[in-house]
Amino acid sequence: MAGACIECDVAIVGSGFAGSLIAKQLSEKPIDTPTGKRRLRVVILEAGPGVQPNINGYMRSFYKAGAKVPESPYPPALASAPSAVVAGRPTALMLSASSWNKPEHAYLDQEGSTLPFKSTYERLAGGTSHWMGLTPRLVPNDFRMGEQYRLPFPNWPISYETLMPWYDKAEEELGVSGDVADHSFAGLTFSPGYAYPMPRIPPSIFDQHVNETLAHLTDDETNSLEFLGTAAPVTSLTARSLPAARNSQPYKKRRACAGNTSCIPICPIQAKYDATITLNEATNNGAKLMDHTVASEILVDASNRVSGINFITYKEEAGPRTGSGCIKATIYVIAANGIETPRLLLMSKNGNRTAKGVANSSDMVGRNLMDHPQFLSWGLLPVQVFPYRGPLVTSAIGDLCDGPFRAQRAAFRISLGNEAWTATVGGSGGDPHVSTLDFINGVNLSGLNKTHTTKLADNSALIGTQLRDTLGNLISRQFRIAFAVEQSPDANNRVTLSSATDALELPRPKIAYNISDYTKQGIAVAFRLKKLIFAKLGAEDFTQTADGDPAGFDMEIEGKTVRLTYGGAGHVMGTYRMGDDPKTSVVDPFQRSHDHSNLYLVGSGTFPTVGTANPTLTLSALALRTADDIVRRFKPRL
């Protein structure tokens, strides 16, 4: 390697939620050295572009994009071939039936995979900016699935009670709006006197309608729900406000949510937290961000400590490389998400001294890839609920995220969507765009342009006031409900290295993925519950599995064969799990590598199991706990 290596105290790869939180915590805490107190010298390597001075460029990209998919505001261009991009990423457009398992079209090489892994992510400063912002906590039994339900699942090496104070700190750091009373269920408790940093986001009209409708179930309805397998009969379903890292009032110099309903892919006023906020605080404290810098190998010395990280630099999305270098530190943190972190570890061969990759004596790196497969449903209500007002999701039905049924099948959390059919119809276009064009052009991609719904001729072509009134009536009655289903860990679901490469000639991730019968049974129960909810709401069901959907599978439900499908939640978890036993896990309870004492692997890849809660709050709490451990252990080099 030409030239001297960059030297620092802590080198962090990745500037998403975990990387930015650790960088901020470390950069603001002074340490004792032989020459006096000083702040830790922190350097962050980021594969993508740096923090933009504002989001106007991203907003322009979003407005101009023909496909309003989660990745559309962010680089690289959606049409880019994965082999021609330096910092590649999976996108929703790569998951079509014709391209998902073809590495020439899709960044993730899923050739030979049983079912598609359907989640996507970004590689840019601040990490996955297109998240929805939801921050529920895991419930206590999520940490002890093997013990509680006698399943072949690992228990976490920490408990909910251990993580509780770190949840408190993470909610303050991100700025979470919520209500403790709404979340005192499924064994969840809070620190004495605890209150969320901000009041909850007000429930939408749809939330209120669902809550009122499902507040009382008839005896027949309660009896028909015995298939849920709950400890007590289900006599009501409660829609509770969902905690979110979104301002309900001004907080930390950020504005309150203005209800733009574009949380995915971008909040135009940054009322929703994203990691660039913390990243800016870290760099203001003196941390150094090196963007357009791709970590290519982790170096390990003869004493089995990490001794450096090699990297490649570039300027343009398609390359070429503009240079290379290395960084040397006392402590190393890999925070590159649940796919890019194992990819880097597996690429790091050290002249074949770490032939299986760094931190991989257990052969667990890359294994147990998990998501929250989403069963998505949508319909038309008999009353107007006026979607497109407020955030995408403000409430959820969470009481079914735990119970004795978990010994037999996966749990789920039910989120109520305020964005109508934006994410459900017309492929990549979404509503209201698709339905509007349907009624202008006399076609029926959305399914709305038909007699029994509109009382007009099939595939009507409308103009003027008739077009306006028809769309105003129909779109104001649209709704979406999603079931985020727990996925069981499976060592055969894994990330390895592909023979397909990116523009730097580095191997891209290869994915092997399937969902278990345990998880499929959870989706089947979600389907059955959806039918009851729709009937109770008096809703017309428009849910359908698209012909040729690669995520489709058949289940026997109530004596009939039903074609079901799932979507990705964007929750990449499990690929370098934590545990007490170095033979069956990759990191310890502080996310420190069992193999290398000065290496930490952070993020949701350390989750042994996934429960049903969105992972960002939990990985943030774990990151803050890890930062505290680094400070306690840190000994400066003399």
The structure's pTM equals 0.97
Interval 559-581: pLDDT, tens = 999 999 999 999 999 999 999 99
Using 50 as the pLDDT threshold, list the residues of the chain that sit under it.
1
Q: Contact, 532 vs 225, CB < 8 A?
A: yes
Would 550 be classed as within a structural domain? yes
2: its two tokens? 């030409």
Total structural domains in the chain? 1
595: its two tokens? 């193999």
Would 611 be classed as within a structural domain? no
pLDDT at 546: 76
DSSP H helices, 446-544, are 451-454, 464-475, 517-537
Q: Is 269 strand, coil or helix?
A: coil
128: its two tokens? 């996955």
pLDDT at 569: 96
Would 433 be classed as within a structural domain? yes
Would 3 be classed as within a structural domain? no
Would 17 be classed as within a structural domain? no
pLDDT at 454: 79
Q: Contact, 122 vs 71, CB < 8 A?
A: yes
Would 255 be classed as within a structural domain? no
pLDDT at 76: 94
Nearest residue to 604 (alpha-carbon basis) of 138, 218, 93, 49:
138
Expressed as residue numbers, the domain containing 531 is 204-238+374-486+516-565
Taking the C-alpha atoms of residue 503 and residue 567, their distance in angstroms, rounded to an integer, is 29
Would 280 be classed as within a structural domain? no
Interval 442-493: pLDDT, tens = 999 899 998 778 788 889 999 999 999 999 999 999 999 999 999 999 999 9
Would 103 be classed as within a structural domain? no
576: its two tokens? 């370098």
